Amino acid sequence: MEKLVQLTRDGDVGIITIHNPPVNALSPGVPEGILQCVEEVQADSSLRAAVLIGSGRTFIAGADIKEFGKITSGEKERKVGLNPTLAKMESAAKPVVAAIHGTALGGGLEFAMACHYRVAVAKAQVGQPEVKIGLIPGAGGTQRLPRLIGSQKAAEMCAFGDPISAAEAHALGLVDEIIDGDLQAGAVAFARKAAAGRRARDLSGKLGAVDRAAIEKKLAQKMRGRKAPIRALDAVEAASRLGFDEGLAEESRLFMECLFSSESKALIHAFFGEREVSKVPGVPPKSGFAVNKAAIIGAGTMGGGIAMTYLNAGIPVVLKETTQEALDKGLATIRKNYESTVAKGRLSNEDAERRLSLLTPTLTYDGFAEADIVVEAVFENMALKKQIFAEIDKVARPGAILASNTSTLDIDEIASATARPQDVIGHHFFSPANVMRLLEIVRGKASSAELISASLALGKKLGKVAVVVGNCRGFVGNRMFHPYRREAQFLVEEGAAIAEVDDVLYEFGMAMGPLSVGDLAGLDVGWRIRKEFKHLDKEGERKALIEDQLCEMGRYGQKTKAGWYRYDEKRNRIDDPEVTALARKLAAEAGIPQREISREEILDRCLLALANEGARILDEGIALRSVDIDVVYVNGYGFPAHWGGPMWYADFLGLDKVLARIRVFEARHGSLWEPAPLLVRLAGEGKKFSDFQGAAAHA
């Protein structure tokens, strides 16, 4: 086996190469290996300098995140391990040059900063992204970075966690030279020059103060409710106040505080969750199926967004509509979206044109026979979808993926319209499809394992987080969203203020309150679905009253400038006493007593409704594991990642406490709050949702 870190020579320069694929993470053995090589270079009189470089596609992309879990679980000693190693490297007499390609992130950048010089290829990126998993740099990043690039920029990089390009790093003085051509050769040449007069690192200088107010204002928008970014600011500020060693000690203290916080545990759960959902029992982990061409039916809201998703991934698309008018409208929207991205400076004009050139509009099935996937995104109507699938069956090539973007309909019934149900699957995108990261892959009874595997691989290629879910009404996300929004409406009927219900959930960290979401998506969507499924209503079951009335009044939400709220030209919400009066009137007619409702009750009613339905979904095998549900909610429904997801949040509260609270609601509100059997079982056994592997084991 190749050693994790190897020392080779290029004349009088030692080359220290890290071999820890795939991303040269700082797993146990890597820092020790680097230090040993640095010491060998120091001891070898034939060597004058060293280059530290990563093999494969990157420099050190970061810490080994699994190691953090070992510290919080008590499996590993509670200390930050890298500082002594970095101090020894930094004080070495012969210079060490970090040669960066790919990324130098987190511990990777901290290693690079403890080297005496840094050179990089132009395409490389560097950053301190620890806040994204609820941490701060813990190996001197908050102390060395301000000394290299100044306090303010360092504070920004540590608080927001966004990487910067090598070019920017060069301009800031973080990277000493950009290497064109071969990185190692360039780094060796640089090291020879450096050996002639090694720069002594000055860690004593006085640093400027951090302007916290400016950063905190931006944090309140971008990282709402997160503590780690504030701790990152504290740590960078310590560098201005304290000497280097005291600053390091303060950083370690703050790092440990973050490491043991619920925020970092939840964010690490969400981070690993995104990777875990791609592992589906019985489904090959790799797919040989390549999607090189796609055909999409319907150029409406979803079809247009899905087309852009494919174009953005470089996949040519044939887009079909029924009329020239609808086709033109769909194309105009796509073009407008690209133009606005170009105007914001996030895409070059050439790239936008290149993407658009991959799009072929059509009113016929011409070009469908060459497509590797056909995606249907027409109106939500079973008869229409079945007709379309019968047509697709005739034109699509054998083995092509036949996907429906339905959000509520039965995939098996849709598949039955074809002679190849094994090739039919749901690809449920979220609006706007070119922006939202979530993709629910809905497996039908007949969907083959290869088809699911190919869909997962495609999801990745499209830049989505794809979660495999079972076939039921609403699948995972929308099925759970129903009781969540139902409770929000019930609370208003019972006397809660509309804005307060939204604000409590917003302050918890949801991207938007549940009633505002209705206004954004359009209240008429649910209204139409309720009318269509009216025959399924259960006798005597309480139903939300207000939204149907709002729709009768033509208040569909933002698109009609009125729904739960009124909206001004800039789409700012304005409280509307008319809706409050309507709520009071409907409640009085239905005999719903009015009372003071606490913020705690608002939060629990909404969030525990999610968890209770999630428990049923798990028990039925509609979701494979609780983490799958969490990933759906964090990536598709604006659930705050720093609370992990609805199931993680329930685990955090403790399932015994969750059950007790749900029983209180059941006593007060009846059978809609009947606790899910799985919740009762797990709470009785003192377990968590994350312990439940039942459905995954049976799949």
Active site residues: 110, 130
Q: From CA 151, how far away is CA 211, in angstroms rounded?
A: 9
- Give me the least distance between CB of 444 and ligand NAI, in Å please: 16
Q: From CA 93, how far away is CA 429, in angstroms rounded?
A: 57
Q: From CA 236, how far away is CA 144, in angstroms rounded?
A: 9
Q: Which is nearer to ligand NAI, 157 or 400 (CB)?
A: 400
Q: Which is nearer to ligand NAI, 377 or 641 (CB)?
A: 377
Closest C-alpha to 412, from 444, 451, 448 = 444
Amino acid at 270: A
φ/ψ of 275, rounded to 5, equals -80, -35
Give the Å distances, CA to CA, from 648 to 62, 269, 616. 25, 8, 15
Beta strands of 84-196 (E only): which ranges?
A: 96-100, 103-105, 117-121, 125-127, 164-165, 177-179
Reading the block at residue 472, the tokens are 């039921």
- Give me the least distance between CB of 67 and ligand NAI, in Å please: 39
- Cβ(96)–Cβ(116) under 8 Å? yes
Q: From CA 191, how far away is CA 198, in angstroms rounded?
A: 9
- Give me the least distance between CB of 402 and ligand NAI, in Å please: 14
Residues 6+ apart with CB under 8 A from 634: 270, 273, 640, 641, 644, 645
Q: Which is nearer to ligand NAI, 73 or 364 (CB)?
A: 364
Q: Which is nearer to ligand NAI, 262 or 301 (CB)?
A: 301
Q: Which is nearer to ligand NAI, 525 or 586 (CB)?
A: 525
Q: From CA 492, how far away is CA 576, in angstroms rounded?
A: 13
Q: Which is nearer to ligand NAI, 263 or 321 (CB)?
A: 321
Reading the block at residue 178, the tokens are 């950009």
- Give me the least distance between CB of 300 and ligand NAI, in Å please: 2
- Give me the least distance between CB of 222 and ligand NAI, in Å please: 25
φ/ψ of 354, rounded to 5, equals -60, -45
Radius of gyration of the chain (CA): 28
- The residues of the shown chain that bind ligand NAI, judged by CB under 6 A, are 297-303, 320-322, 326, 377-380, 388, 405-407, 428-431
What does the DSSP 8-state code read for residue 26? B
Q: Which is nearer to ligand NAI, 414 or 623 (CB)?
A: 414
Residues 6+ apart with CB under 8 A from 579: 498, 546, 550, 555, 564, 565
Cα 296–chain centre separation:
26
- Give me the least distance between CB of 462 and ligand NAI, in Å please: 15
Reading the block at residue 167, the tokens are 């070019």
Other Cβ atoms within 10 Å of 524 Cβ, number: 18
Q: Which is nearer to ligand NAI, 391 or 500 (CB)?
A: 391
- Give me the least distance between CB of 492 and ligand NAI, in Å please: 23
Residues 6+ apart with CB under 8 A from 73: none
Reading the block at residue 153, the tokens are 């920029």
Q: Which is nearer to ligand NAI, 69 or 300 (CB)?
A: 300
- Give me the least distance between CB of 424 and ligand NAI, in Å please: 14
Q: From CA 458, how far away is CA 579, in angstroms rounded?
A: 45
Reading the block at residue 240, the tokens are 């201005």
- Give me the least distance between CB of 432 and ligand NAI, in Å please: 8
Closest residue to ligand NAI, judged by C-beta, is 300
Reading the block at residue 5, the tokens are 């870190």
Give the Å distances, CA to CA, from 652 to 100, 265, 683. 40, 10, 13
